[in-house]
Amino acid sequence: MKKFQFTVLIEQDEDGVFVAKVPQLRGCHTQGKSVSQVMDRIKEAVELCLEVQKDSVEKVKFIGVQQIEVAG
């Protein structure tokens, strides 16, 4: 069985809900009430996404996260 490694991005929305997404898998995202819960759920989501997208995993190299400040 082939093994994959993915970067998971986690954000917290205005209601305190954690949202996780995998940029390499189009539409692969989930949410949870804690980081632990959202990580369990994103693993399940990745498995489901791989069933559908196994041959179309995007070749994205994660570089990092930066914050910027702009006036607006």
What's the CATH number where 20 sits?
Answer: 3.30.160.250
Instruction: Give the total number of structural domains in the chain.
Output: 1
In a domain, 38, yes or no: yes
In a domain, 4, yes or no: no
Q: State the pLDDT at residue 17.
A: 98
Q: State the pLDDT at residue 12.
A: 97
The tokens 């949870």 sit on which residue? 32
pLDDT tens for the chain, residues 1 to 72: 778 889 999 999 999 999 999 988 889 999 999 999 999 999 999 999 998 877 777 777 888 888 899 998
Q: State the pLDDT at residue 4.
A: 85
Alpha carbon of 16 to those of 27, 33, 34, 40, 49: distances in Å? 22, 7, 9, 17, 25
- Residue 56 sits at φ, ψ, to 5 deg, of -125, 35
Q: State the pLDDT at residue 37.
A: 98
CA nearest to 9, candidates 20, 18, 17: 20
